[in-house]
Amino acid sequence: MATSASSKLSKAVKQQYMDLPQGDNVQAMYIWIDGTGEGLRCKTRTLDSEPKTIEELPEWNFDGSSTYQSEGSNSDMYLIPQAMFRDPFRKDPNKLVLCDVLKYNRKPAETNLRQMCKKIMDMVQNRHPWFGMEQEYTILGTDGHPFGWPSNGFPGPQGPYYCGVGADKAYGRDVVEAHYRACLYAGVKICGTNAEVMPAQWEFQVGPCEGIDMGDHLWIARFLLHRVCEDFGVVASFDPKPIPGNWNGAGCHTNFSTKEMREEGGLKHIEEAIERLAKRHQYHIRAYDPKGGLDNARRLTGHHETSNINEFSAGVANRGASIRIPRSVGQEMKGYFEDRRPSANCDPYAVTEALIRTCLLSEEGEEPMTYK
């Protein structure tokens, strides 16, 4: 099993230094999305005291030419703090800071989708949109081979692994447990976890989160997963189809509701939203993975609990549909629906914004509308 050289360094030696007092100083780790729209970057600065609000955190900058975000001749990019969490690696009073990225002219970087998402969320805040996202991922060795799989072959076929227990069924649970506790400490709204259908594939759920919080909390949860995996010397992959063939892909099913949908008679509002989604399928497919649908084409085949990427479908308790209405929602006539199309490597800002535009702002057509 290929694990990183860094993971073999002595953690006991490191702990001697981590136990040293830091005085009144605070380490703030600034985190941002790089030019790929999938990768995360981070760097740390010292603050004189513990920040209590986001306004107390200073702006910062970085070299965008090294993150696929600018040219070397004009490479300074700005980091604008937007959300703050506790740091589970350095512990209190240290912080994790999720940032917007602005270009030299103070306009959002191409992969900074948060700013527009926030604008759209603010337009519908009186509707109280709630989201819950189910993040699937695969644990890999540093050689790209799934964790625990035979080095020159495959494990037994799918069947015993989903929510499985036992050394021959659950591959890498230590990573999952460490990540769960790190999220709880940080203040991420993680609400559950389970082993998935393919061995070495897992899922965690974040939510319910209102508005922009969904994207903020999922990106920090992903960052924490990458950092936990770094400590264990393995890699977390959000590739929507890491292993070709008769193995499940990885998605990021997105649960959505508004105040009207959660109240008595809400099923009518859910059905109206699904009707709007049916007329805008290709727009959503483009928004639901960072390559405009190309990544999802490998996953949304109509097999392995997915819908066909070229067709829109909806149904009660149907895991082969684009949109699933949970059976309990059909019975209670209120609640939420699940969009099963987003890929594991989607940008949650893009996904949640697209849902609001279509379901609440009643947009139509293949392009998003522009608002003043």
Tokens of residue 133, six digits? 């996202």
Q: What is the pLDDT of residues 74-99, one digit of tens each?
A: 889 999 999 999 999 999 999 999 99
Q: Can you list the alpha helix ranges (DSSP code H) found in 288-366?
A: 294-297, 327-332, 348-359
- Say which range, 50-54, 152-156, 235-239, has the weakest mean pLDDT: 152-156
Q: What angle do CA 241, 199, 345 make, to 5 degrees?
A: 30
CA dihedral sign of residues 220, 188, 133, 357: negative
The three-class DSSP label of residue 224 is helix
Taking only the tens place, the pLDDT of each residue in 186-245 is: 999 999 999 999 999 999 999 999 999 999 999 999 999 999 999 999 999 999 999 999
Give me the phi and psi of 214, to 5 degrees please.
-60, -50
pLDDT tens digit string along 54-64? Answer: 999 999 999 99
- pLDDT score for 196: 98
**Residue 328, SS3 per DSSP:** helix
- Band (322; pLDDT cuts 50, 70, 90): very high
Tokens of 282: 């290709």
Q: H/E/C letters for each residue in 118-159?
A: HHHHHHCHHHCCEEEEEEEEEEECCCCCECCCCCCCCCCCCC
**Would you give the end-to-end CA distance of the chain in angstroms?**
54
Closest CA to 188 of 273, 284, 287, 84: 84
Residue 133: the pLDDT is: 98
d(Cα 82, Cα 347) in Å, to the nearest integer?
Answer: 17
Sign of the dihedral defined by the CA atoms of residues 287, 305, 211, 316, in that order: positive
Sort 57 into a burial class: Cβ within 10 Å, 0-12 / 13-18 / 19+: buried
- Whether pTM > 0.95 for this model: the answer is yes
> Which residue has tokens 């049916």?
278
CA angle, 41 then 45 then 48, to 5°: 150
Name which of 83-87, 165-169, 170-174, 302-306 the model is least confident about: 302-306
**Average pLDDT value for the chain:** 96
User: Beta 201-210 vs 190-195: how paired, if at all?
Assistant: antiparallel
Token output for 204:
């965690």
CA 42, 45, 46: angle at the middle one, nearest 5? Answer: 150
The pLDDT-based confidence of 72 (bands split at 50, 70, 90) is: confident
Tell which residue, 277, 251, 268, has the closest CA to residue 335.
268
Residues 241/304, Cβ–Cβ less than 8 Å: no
pLDDT given for residue 21 in this prediction: 97
Q: What angle do CA 121, 126, 128 make, to 5 degrees?
A: 70
